[in-house]
Amino acid sequence: MPRYKKVDFKNNTLSLSLSLSLSLSLYFPFLSLSHFRWSMRICLGGCIQAQPQLSFPAGGGIHIDSYCPPRWKEKVVIVMGATGTGKSRLSIELATHFPAEIVNSDKIQLYQGLDIVTNKVTDEEQQGVPHHLLGVVNPEDEFTALDFRHLASLTLESITMRRKLPIIAGGSNSYIEALVEDQDLEFRSKYDCCFILVDVALPVLNSFLSERVDRMVEAGLVEEVRNNFHRTAAEADYTRGIRRAIGLPELDRYLRSEGNANWETRSRLLEEAIDEIKANTIKLACCQAEKIHRLHRRYGWDIHRIDATDVFRKCGQEAEHAWEMLVARPSISQVQQFLYGGGNGKKVGRDAASPTSSGANANLIALAPTPPVLAASMPAAR
C-alpha cells in the first residue's frame, strides 16, 4: 500500500480527506484508481475553498475584513428617553409582539425596595414578560456602571441563548453607554442595535411629571420613605445606594420634624418637599434628554425618534388611541424591519455605528435644546 505524508492544513482537512480515501480503498477493493482520484479531487477541492479570500485595496494594505467574513450578530433593542415618557410601557408592548425579554437599565430601579419612589413596573404591568436586573441589588450597596455592564452582558448572553430578543429599557443613559461602547467586551462586534427614543416635548412632559408626583404621593410615597428613614446623620447618606433616589433627600427635613414640630410647620415642610421632588424630577428629565443628544453626537448612534407629545396632550380613550397610532405601531414596525428586513447593518466593527450605515437618518433625534435656566441647575447625567 502506498504511504502518504500527512500535510497539516487548517483543521487537518487534507489529512482527513486522505484517510477517508484510503479507507474507501481498503473496504471497497473493487473501486478503481480513477474512483480514488475522483474522491481525492472532491476532498481537496473542499480544502481549497475553505481557505480565506484576501483582497488588496488600491491604496495598499490588507483590511482585517479580508480575513474574516462578517459574523452573524445577535439583535438588541434599546428603548431610550427621559423619565416619564413611557419607556417601560413601550418595551412591554414590544415584548408582547416579539419573543423578547426586558433588561432594566435604570440605576435606581436596580435596587430592592421603594417601589413607589423608584416607580418600578408592577407585576400586573409586566404582563408576564420576563424582566431582568429589576430590584436585584441590595439597597445599601454601591452599584456602578461597570457593575451594570458586567451583569447586563451576562444577561444578554443568557437571553440570546434562549433565542429571545433582549430589550434594554431605562433612563440611565450612562449605563447604556458603558455597555454599548465598551471596547473590552466588544459589544458592537457581537450585537446589532436598534435604538428607539420615546420623545415628548419638555413643556408637555414637565406638566405630566408634576402630576405623576402627586399620584405617587397619593399612592403612599411619603409612607414608603418614612418606613425606610433613618434619623441619625451617619445613616442618612444620600449619595450612596438607593438613597440617591429622588424623593428621599427631599423628605428628610419633613420626616425629621415629626414629633418636634407643630402641624402647621410639618404641613409647610411636606408641601416644600413635594415641590422639590417635582422640580428635581423635571431637572432629571432635561438632563436625560441632553445626555441622549451627547451620545448621538459622540458615537453617531442611529436613534429612531418616536414623538409621543400628542399622547400626553390627550386623556382617556383618546390618549390610548394616540399611543397605539403614534408610539406602539411605529415602534413595532421599526423593530420588525430591524429583525427581518436587514436591521441597522450587518457589518462587524465600528462602521455599524455610523449614521451613514443605514437609511434611517430621517428618524434621528431632533429634541429641542435644553432650556438655559434648567441647564444651569441640572444634576449629574444618569
Q: Write out pLDDT tens, residues 84-135.
A: 999 999 999 999 999 999 999 999 999 999 999 999 999 999 999 999 999 9
Q: Which pLDDT band holds residue 309 (cuts at 50, 70, 90)?
A: very high
pLDDT of residue 282: 98
DSSP 152-190: HHHHHHHHHHTT-EEEEE-S-HHHHHHHHT-TTTTHHHH
Contact 345, 352 (CB under 8 A): yes
Which whole number is the average pLDDT over 307-313? 98
pLDDT digits (tens, 9 = 90+) for 235-248: 678 999 999 999 99
H-helix or E-strand spanning residue 316: helix 316-323
Sheet of 191-199: strands edge to edge? 131-132, 100-104, 165-169, 74-80, 191-199, 303-307
Of 60-64, 74-78, 373-377, the one with minimum mean pLDDT is 373-377
Q: Read off the pTM.
A: 0.73
Q: What is the pLDDT of residue 132?
A: 98
Helical segments of 219-308, H only: 221-227, 252-257, 263-299
Asked if residue 261 has pLDDT above 60, the reply is yes
Residue 68: what pLDDT? 52
Higher pLDDT: 364 or 377? It is 364
Q: Enter the C-alpha cell of residue 50.
A: 475553505
What does the domain layout of the chain look like in residue ranges?
Answer: 10-66, 76-206+278-375
* Chain mean position to CA 305: 15
Higher-pLDDT residue of 341 and 184 is: 341
Q: What is the distance in angstroms between the CA of the first residue and the CA of the last residue of the chain?
A: 74
Tell me what pLDDT residue 165 has. 98
Summarize pLDDT for 205-224 with one digit per residue, the tens. 999 999 999 999 999 999 99
Mean pLDDT of the chain: 79
Dihedral of CA atoms 96, 98, 102, 106 in degrees, nearest 10, equals -90
Please tell me the distance from the alpha carbon of residue 276 to that of residue 272, in angstroms, as a whole number.
Answer: 6
Cβ atoms of residues 204 and 364 within 8 Å? no
The pair phi, psi for residue 108, each rounded to 5°, is: -90, -35
Q: Tell me how far apart the alpha carbons of residues 81 and 83 are, in angstroms, rounded to a whole number.
A: 7
Host H or E run for residue 74: strand 74-80
The average pLDDT across 63-90 equals 82
Query: For residue 84, what is its C-alpha cell?
Result: 416619564
What percent of the chain shows pLDDT beyond 70? 69
DSSP string for 79-95: EE-STTSSHHHHHHHHH
> Angle CA(65)–CA(71)–CA(72) in degrees, nearest 5?
155
The predicted structure's pLDDT at residue 69:
53
Q: For residue 192, give the H/E element and its range.
A: strand 191-199
- 129 to each of 9, 67, 90, 93, 136, how far by Cα in Å? 49, 41, 12, 9, 17
DSSP code, position 55: -
Rounded CA-CA distance 53/297 in Å is 36
Q: Which of 41-45, 97-101, 307-311 has the lowest mean pLDDT?
A: 41-45
Q: What is the mean pLDDT of residues 327-342?
A: 94
Name the class of domain 76-206+278-375: alpha beta
